[in-house]
Structure 1
Amino acid sequence: METSDLLERCYPGRRAELKRDIFRKALTLFNEQGIEATTIEMIRAECDTSVGAIYHHFGNKEGLVAALFFTALDDQARLRDSYLSDAKTTQEGVYALVHSYVDWVDSQPEWARFQYHARFSVTKGPFKDELATRNKARNKQLLEWLSASARGDELKGSPAELLLSLIIGQADNYCRTWLSGRVKGSPKVYRDKLAHAAWRSISGE
C-alpha cells in the first residue's frame, strides 16, 4: 500500500486529482521540513497550483494538517475494522488490533510519521472538537467489540480506560522507534511477539 494507493482509496476519481496531489506534496513537505516550517506557499509551489485552490479545499494550513491527519486515522481504522471483523475470540481480537496497527505503520511509514508529529497540533488546535467527534464515530465498532459481554468478563481484570494502552502501547512504542530510525527491524517482523505481549498484559497468562 503506497501513499498514492491510500489517497486513491480515500479520495477516488478524477475530480479529486488536485486534492490528492496537494495531499502528496504537503505530506512530503511536512515530514521533511516540519509542520511549523512548512508554508502554504511552499506547498503551492510544489503542486504548481494557486494558493486559492489550496484554501478552497482546506481553508488554511491548520485545515490541511487536520485533513491529512483525519485521512490517516480513517485509513488506519478501516484496516483495523477489517482485521477485527475476522476475530472469533478475545485473543484473536487482541492479535487483530496489534497486527492491523503494525501492518498499517509498516505499509504507510510516511503517513504514520506525519500522524505522530501532527497529533499534538490537531488535538490542541481549532479542529480538536471535530477530532473528538470523528474518534467517537470511528471507534464505534472497537468499543462494541471491547464491551461485548463475554469479552467484558474475560477482560474485567483490566480497567476499561487502560485496555487500549495495554493492547497497543508496546507496538506503538516500537513503531515510533522504527520510524525515527533508531532500530532497523520492521515492526511487521515482530507483529506476533508484540501481539503475544499485548495478550499476556491483559489476560494474566
Structure 2
Amino acid sequence: METTDLLERAFPGRRAELKRDIFRKALALFNEQGIEATTIEMIRTECQTSVGAIYHHFGNKEGLVAALFFTALEDQARLREQYLSEATTAEQGVQALIYSYVDWVDSQPEWARFQYHARFAVTKGPFKDELASRNTSRNGQLWQWLSAAEQGEALKRYPAELMFSLIIGASESYCRAWLAGRVPSSPKAHRELLAQAAWRSISAD
C-alpha cells in the first residue's frame, strides 16, 4: 500500500486529482521540514497551484494538517475493521488490533510518521473537538466489541477509556522507535510477540 493508493482510496476520481496532489506534497513537506516550518506558500510552490486553490479545499494550514491526520485515521480504521471482521473471541480481537496497527505503520511509514508528529497540533488546534469525538466513538466501539466477544466478560474490570492504551501502548512505542530509526526491525516482524503482550496486559489475573 503506497501513499498514492491510500489517497486514491480516500479521494477517488479525476475531480479529486488536485486534492490528492496537495495532500502528497504537503505530507512530504510536513515530514521533511516539520509542521511548524512548512508554509502554505511552500506547499503552493510544490504543487504549482494557487494559494486560493489550497484554501478552497482546506481553509487554512490547520485545516490541511487536520485533513491529512483524519485521512490517516480513517485508513487505519478501514484496515482495523477488515481484520476485526475475522475475529470471534476477545483474544482474536486484540490480535486483530495489533496486527492491523503494525501492518498499517509498516505499509504507510510516511503517513504514520506524520500522524505521530501532527497529533499534538490537532489536539491543541481548532479541530480538537472533532478529534476527541472521533476518539470517543472509536474507543467506545472497540470496547463494546471486546466486551461482547467470547472471553470479553473478564475485561469489564477495566475502564473503557483505558482499554485502548493498554492494548496498543507497547506497539505504539515500538512503531515510534522504528520510524525514528532507533530500532532496525519493522514492527511487522514482531507482530506476534506484540499481540501476545497486549493480550497478557488485559487478560492476566
TM-score normalized with structure 2 length: 0.95
Report the counterpart of residue 47 of structure 2 in structure 1: 47
Letter matched to residue 184 of structure 2? K
Q: How many residues align structurally?
A: 205
Shift of 1:140: 5.5
In structure 2, relative to structure 1, the CA distance for the partners of 1:172 and 1:3 (3 Å cut) is same
Report the counterpart of residue 86 of structure 2 in structure 1: 86
Contact 2:88–2:149 (8 Å) recurs in 1: no
**Among the aligned pairs, what percent are the same residue?**
77
Letter matched to residue 61 of structure 1? K
Which is worse superposed, 92-101 or 126-135? Answer: 126-135
In structure 2, relative to structure 1, the CA distance for the partners of 1:140 and 1:200 (3 Å cut) is closer
Q: Distance in 2 between matches of 1:156 and 1:137?
A: 18
Which is worse superposed, 152-161 or 78-87? Answer: 152-161
Report the counterpart of residue 202 of structure 1 in structure 2: 202
Contact 1:178–1:187 (8 Å) recurs in 2: yes
Contact 2:89–2:149 (8 Å) recurs in 1: no
Report the counterpart of residue 59 of structure 2 in structure 1: 59
Q: Distance in 2 between matches of 1:184 and 1:73?
A: 25
Letter matched to residue 16 of structure 1? A
Q: Distance in 2 between matches of 1:137 and 1:193?
A: 28
The two structures, once aligned, show a CA RMSD in angstroms of 1.5
Classify the secondary structure of the residue corresponding to 1:155: helix
Question: Gaps spanning 5+ residues in structure 2: where?
Answer: none
Shift of 1:160: 2.7
Classify the secondary structure of the residue corresponding to 2:156: coil
Shift of 1:147: 3.3
Superposition pairs for residues 14-163 of structure 1, below 5 Å? 14-139=14-139, 141-148=141-148, 150-163=150-163
Classify the secondary structure of the residue corresponding to 1:41: helix
Letter matched to residue 50 of structure 1? S
Letter matched to residue 31 of structure 1? N
Classify the secondary structure of the residue corresponding to 2:161: helix
